[in-house]
């Protein structure tokens, strides 16, 4: 009997149906020589510290760093999981061969390998490796099963990632919590989440410290076209105005007219990150919601495997394209021009085997979307993927760019205009609702002085013009949104607009496409960041945590990106997993020693929800006056309401007490030289009441 182990019951049902395993049992299907069972995602996990020794049960600085001699795995503590594992264990014990049908990726490989290890599997294992869950893809995958050993490096990379996260996360979290946390609230520190938080804090600092500066631009209008001074910005209005006085009576003379033809290729196909960015930009979807939506479309067989970091297709997809387009019935009017071609275009910007490893870019499958039961969110995301896929086979957009140079007296001016000759793929995005998104918008906005289509100019012509001075102000950097943060994680904090350069930098990005959404969610749950409309902002606790961490390897995006690069090299067999783990062990040992040498302690307070104020009892009309209620005892700084805004509560910082509403405009600061850091919450409350009462009397 051959035993197939999938990652979800829904996938097991599809595979069982195709294999003829139609008899349903408790936890598996059987028939035609196959037994098909499933996990529920992760059945196993790395052991907790207290599973290794009783000494690690209690959080103690003296027990750090915690580094097990040998890392072990255990079943998750869940009755349903335990029951399903027993089914898998029993089936594997009686199998002649095991077929790993888990998700075709690093995490999917790790999930399956741990289950086989825990079940004591000593049977030959084959691997089903597919990029979509359509019937055709599954049948082809079973005809071309691979040896499990081909994916050993993928497993080693996943295992190294899990162990590395354990070493850093378990030790650093206990270390910083015990050393710096007020009231022993847990300070979560992680290999990827902490440098991500550091990027958000750094951006907020840039915004807070930004000093706007005024500047002036000199422009003139000639024949309805705006010309800009070639001298650029002016630091003073007077300097620009003086030139206006000199040139306003002089004619403008055209000195050169240059027209260049250009082409714009269709936007790249989607990888997971670019799809999440687009969903956030167009629909305001969180990275996590976008991932769940595209994962659901994959499981419904509408789109291909989503957890990918390439925007290319492999050559073997090329002959399948016509069938995929023919299946996209609702898009027949858009696919018709492509299907009518004698030969389908094959661009190196779309098909490149060297840019595809495990999986290709996200595209539709050969399943008619009209037959798939989609939610409104799934329909929107499918539409993005579908139109992007069709656009890849449309002609380039062709345009003319005209540059006109002019002279007024001794001062030079320049005007540019762009005329689209053949829209090509842009025809697909002619509706405002169908804009291709960030990649396209950025190209259109590349030059805010573009005049569009300009009238015909002749060299040597001249005439009157209307000069003017325009005042402008420098703008601070924009706060991160989830979309722009995903891009920053992908490029280790560097701002990269060029697609080719972005591809090259993915190797050093932090996190993986499949884990970045979860990292952002973790920062929300830990109350290190919060959302202000679409923007992300750090909380006081998040800022203080980053200020307290002095170890570059814990908060540097670029250094963390180097660790990520090593994990990718392990996956390719170019780096030793054992060496990677040894380096992390040495690193955490150094971090523990450095933190223990720090004389500061107890300075970070994680925001808690504000306690509800007790209601005063209502006095009966004309009756006896009720007794005055005794104020509740102040046990925490968070119990003290801000004496200025009355909305927030006090929090302890590095140098002063502040208000939890500081991000919303409350600037209350109680410096430690006036309100000592070692004051108990009750004493601080008393001082605040006394001092601010005096202030009110003197106002």
Active site residues: 305
For 459-481, the DSSP string reads TT-EE--EEEEEEEE--PPPPPB
Q: Is 548 within 8 Å of 176 (Cβ atoms)?
A: yes
Burial of 646: CB neighbours in 10 Å, binned 0-12, 13-18, 19+:
exposed
CA atoms of 280 and 520, how far apart (whole Å): 13
Q: Which of 253, 294, 257 is nearest to 273 (CA)?
A: 294
Q: How far is Cα 426 from Cα 396, in angstroms, rounded to an integer?
A: 8
DSSP 8-state secondary structure symbol assigned to residue 696? H
Cβ(37)–Cβ(28) under 8 Å?
yes
Residue from 108, 81, 92 nearest 308 by CA: 108
Beta 535-538 vs 225-234: how paired, if at all? unpaired
Retrieve residue 404's tokens.
């006109």
Residue 629 contacts by C-beta under 8 Å, 6 or more apart in sequence? Answer: 614, 616, 617
User: Residue 289 has which token pair?
Assistant: 């919601």
Tell me which H or E stretch contains 196. helix 193-209
The string of DSSP letters for 77-137 reads S-HHHHHHHHHHHHHHHT-SEEEEES-SSHHHHHHHHHHHHHTT--S-EEE---S--SHHH
In the chain, the N- to C-terminal Cα span, in Å, equals: 87
Q: By CB neighbour count within 10 A (0-12 exposed, 13-18 middle, 19+ buried), where does 518 fall? A: middle
Tokens of 247: 């040139």
How far apart (Å, rounded) are the C-alpha atoms in residues 652 and 447? 47
State both tokens at 38: 């499933």
Per-residue CA distances from 662 to 333, 631, 666 (Å): 54, 26, 5
Report whether 558 contacts 224 (CB < 8 A).
Answer: no
Q: How many residues can be counted in the chain?
A: 699
The structure tokens listed for 675 are 């309100």
Phi then psi for residue 406, to 5 deg, are -140, 160
Contacts (Cβ under 8 Å, ≥6 apart) of 222: 252, 406, 415, 463, 464, 465, 466
Pick the closest to residue 76 from 26, 28, 39, 25 (CA basis): 39
């Amino acid at each position: 009997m051959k035993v197939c182990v999938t990652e979800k019951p829904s996938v097991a049902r599809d595979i069982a149906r195709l294999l003829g395993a139609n008899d349903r049992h408790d936890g598996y299907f059987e028939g035609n020589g196959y037994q098909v069972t499933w996990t529920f995602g992760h059945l196993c996990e790395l052991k907790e510290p207290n599973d290794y020794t009783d000494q690690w049960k209690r959080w103690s600085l003296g027990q750090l760093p915690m580094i097990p001699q040998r890392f072990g795995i255990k079943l998750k503590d869940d009755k349903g999981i335990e029951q399903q594992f027993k089914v898998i264990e029993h089936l594997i014990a009686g199998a002649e061969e095991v077929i790993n049908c888990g998700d075709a990726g690093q995490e999917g490989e790790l999930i399956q390998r741990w289950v086989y290890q825990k079940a004591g599997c000593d049977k030959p294992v084959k691997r089903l490796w597919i990029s979509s869950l359509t019937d055709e893809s599954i049948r082809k995958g079973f005809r071309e099963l691979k040896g499990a050993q081909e994916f050993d490096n993928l497993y080693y990379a996943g295992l190294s990632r899990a162990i590395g996260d354990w070493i850093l996360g378990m030790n650093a979290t206990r270390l910083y919590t015990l050393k710096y946390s007020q009231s022993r609230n847990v300070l979560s520190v992680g290999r990827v989440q902490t440098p991500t938080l550091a990027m958000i804090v750094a951006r907020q600092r840039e915004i807070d410290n930004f000093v706007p500066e005024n500047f002036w631009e000199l422009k003139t209008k000639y024949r309805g076209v705006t010309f800009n001074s070639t001298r650029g910005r002016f630091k003073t209005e007077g300097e620009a105005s003086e030139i206006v006085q000199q040139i306003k009576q002089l004619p403008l003379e055209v000195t050169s007219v240059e027209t260049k033809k250009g082409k714009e290729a269709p936007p790249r196909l989607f990888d997971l990150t670019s799809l999440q960015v687009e969903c956030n930009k167009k629909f305001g979807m969180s990275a996590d919601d976008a991932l769940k939506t595209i994962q659901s479309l994959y499981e419904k067989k509408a789109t291909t495997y989503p957890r990918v970091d390439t925007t290319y297709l492999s050559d073997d997809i090329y002959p399948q394209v016509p069938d995929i387009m023919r299946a996209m019935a609702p898009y027949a009017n858009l696919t018709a021009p492509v299907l009518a071609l004698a030969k389908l275009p094959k661009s190196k910007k779309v098909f490149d085997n060297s840019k595809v490893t495990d999986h290709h870019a996200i595209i539709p499958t050969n399943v008619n979307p009209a037959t798939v039961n989609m939610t409104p969110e799934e329909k929107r995301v499918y539409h993005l993927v579908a139109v992007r896929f069709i656009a890849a086979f449309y002609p380039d957009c062709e345009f003319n760019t005209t540059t006109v140079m002019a002279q007024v007296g001794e001062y030079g001016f320049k005007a540019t205009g762009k005329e689209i000759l053949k829209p090509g793929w842009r025809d697909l995005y002619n509706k405002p609702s169908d804009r291709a998104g960030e990649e396209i918008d950025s190209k259109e906005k590349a030059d805010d002085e573009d005049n569009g289509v300009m009238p015909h100019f002749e060299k040597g012509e001249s005439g009157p013009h209307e000069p003017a001075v325009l005042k402008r102000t420098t703008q601070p950097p924009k706060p991160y949104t989830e979309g722009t943060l995903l891009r920053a994680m992908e490029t280790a904090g560097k701002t990269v607009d060029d697609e080719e350069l972005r591809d090259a930098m993915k190797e050093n990005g932090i996190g993986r496409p499949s884990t970045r959404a979860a990292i952002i969610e973790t920062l929300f749950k830990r109350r290190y960041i919060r959302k202000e409309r679409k923007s992300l902002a750090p909380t006081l606790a998040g800022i203080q945590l980053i200020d307290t961490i002095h170890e570059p390897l814990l908060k540097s995006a670029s250094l963390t990106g180097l660790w990520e690069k090593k994990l990718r090299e392990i996956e390719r067999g170019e780096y030793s997993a054992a060496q990677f783990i040894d380096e992390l062990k040495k690193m955490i040992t150094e971090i523990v020693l450095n933190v223990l040498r720090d004389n500061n302690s107890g300075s970070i307070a994680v925001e808690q929800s504000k306690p509800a104020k007790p209601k005063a009892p209502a006095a009966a009309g004309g009756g006896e006056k009720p007794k005055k209620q005794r104020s509740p005892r102040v046990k925490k700084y968070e119990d003290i309401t801000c004496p200025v805004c009355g909305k927030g509560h006090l929090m302890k910082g590095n140098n002063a007490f502040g208000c939890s509403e500081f991000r919303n405009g409350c600037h209350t600061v109680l410096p430690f030289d006036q309100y000592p850091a070692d004051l108990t919450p009750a004493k601080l409350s008393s001082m605040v009441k006394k001092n601010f009462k005096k202030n009110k009397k003197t106002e």
